[in-house]
Amino acid sequence: MRVVVAFNRPKTTQSEGHWLQKSLADRAVQELTYRDAAECGNLEVVPRIAAAIRNAGHETSILEIGDPMQLMTCLKDEKPQAIFNCVEAFAGVSALEAAVAGIYELYGVPYTGSGAQALGLTLNKSLSKDVMRAHGIPTPASWLILDLGALKGPGALDFPLIVKPNAEDASIGIDAGAVVHTWPELERRVAFVLQEFRQPALVEEFIDGRDLSVSLLWQSQSVIVSLPVSEIVFELPDGMPRIVGYEAKWIESSPLYAGTPPRCPASLDPVLQKRISDIAINVAQVLGLRDYARIDFRLRGSDGRAFVLEANPNPDLSEDAGFMRAARASGRTGDETIVEILNRAIERSAS
């Protein structure tokens, strides 16, 4: 089978223009070459994915998507029979990830991961939370702010709160300043998000507690298995909020990176593990995810209640990322996991 591994090259930015540098203001961070450092992982993982697919007996090529015509020419002339989709943005715009998947669909080429509709839905944090709430899935209370005029007085949410860009992923827009405890702090952070990201700000109840994630892998089009639950262990400096922000995820020289080590499998009561795994599968079904995904949770310290923070379709497949860590904990190798994901797309081509 002819398989194309498609990816996008991340958009570079100067350190002084990076949103994190503007947010920190009082200190410099050296490792700010990319706005979305998550996409940098693709530059390393794409050749490994291609090799795994080739070793499984498929004819394989790699396509860096630079413009729509280039992609459409490939689909029209090379006629791939499947695409392993590693595209996370287009022209530096995360929202266009779904548009690229839509082009695959227009040409009738099966591809790995969630479909265009699910990609668009999950990128809209507020809308996806509304869908989850409508299906009885617990998620923190939230408030979508379209402009500063909406901030006319204390709302229904209690402090502390966390402020996020509504349509970004990979912790873009989230650092220690995202957690606010007073009304003036909330106003300043919302103004920062609105100005810097040119999109609504999602204000959410901050759930302090254990940070858990459930990685999901489809064994067929309808059977979803939960991989071992992963946890971020907080060993942060005094005064830092217990969050996994941009620095903790992507800035290896940061004490926040060192202070948020992962543990997989997490130490959980079997009843709790099954409960959050069942919720994660429900989230995937409700949002229309497929093939592989990761659902992030907070376990509230005060009462042990689990809340879904967000759903992540097509999570990072780097060896040191959470999804692959969970896959290895289940007894799979990285290459076996990649082939499993591809096989789901191949099955769709036959249906």
Q: Is residue 240 part of a domain?
A: no
Count of residues in the chain: 351
Output the average pLDDT for the chain.
Answer: 91
Question: Which residues lie closer than 8 Å to 168 by C-beta, 6 or more apart?
Answer: 94, 123, 197, 199
CA-angle at 344, arms to 340 and 347, nearest 5°: 130
Specify whether the CB–CB gap between 285 and 222 falls below 8 A: no
Q: Which letter does DSSP use for residue 93 in this model?
A: B
Split at pLDDT 50, 70, 90, the class of 31 is low
Same domain, 225 and 348: yes
Same domain, 52 and 196: no
Same domain, 91 and 131: no
Chain centre to alpha carbon of residue 250: 13
Residue (of 36, 324, 51, 348) closest to 170 by Cα position: 36
Prior bond of 313 cis (ω within 30°): no
Q: Is residue 351 part of a domain?
A: yes
pTM recorded for the entire structure: 0.94
Same domain, 213 and 81: no
Q: Is residue 257 part of a domain?
A: no
**Which CATH number does the domain housing residue 63 bear?**
3.40.50
Measured distance CA(94)–CA(46) in Å, rounded: 19
Q: Is residue 255 part of a domain?
A: no
Residue (of 209, 166, 163) closest to 307 by Cα position: 209
Into how many domains does the chain fold? 3
Q: Is residue 180 part of a domain?
A: yes
Q: Is residue 280 part of a domain?
A: yes
Give the HSE-up count for residue 337: Cα atoms under 13 Å, Cβ half-sphere. Answer: 27
Same domain, 73 and 156: no
Tokens of 163: 């402020």
Least confident of 65-79, 198-212, 255-269: 65-79
- The helix (H) or strand (E) run that includes residue 310 is strand 306-313
Same domain, 216 and 312: yes
Same domain, 287 and 340: yes
Same domain, 80 and 156: no
Measured distance CA(207)–CA(16) in Å, rounded: 32
**Which CATH number does the domain housing residue 148 bear?**
3.30.1490
Residues spanned by the domain of 339? 114-138+208-229+264-351
Instruction: Quick: pLDDT tens for 231-284.
Output: 999 999 888 999 999 888 888 888 899 999 999 999 999 999 999 999 999 999
**Which CATH number does the domain housing residue 322 bear?**
3.30.470.20
Split at pLDDT 50, 70, 90, the class of 123 is very high
Query: Does residue 54 carry a pLDDT above 90?
Result: yes
Q: Is residue 250 part of a domain?
A: no
pLDDT at 34: 55
Same domain, 279 and 134: yes
Same domain, 130 and 98: no
Q: Is residue 253 part of a domain?
A: no
Same domain, 156 and 217: no
Same domain, 220 and 150: no
If you write DSSP's letter for every residue of 210-237 in order, what string do you get? EEEEEEEEESSSS-EEEPPPEEE---PP
pLDDT at 92: 77
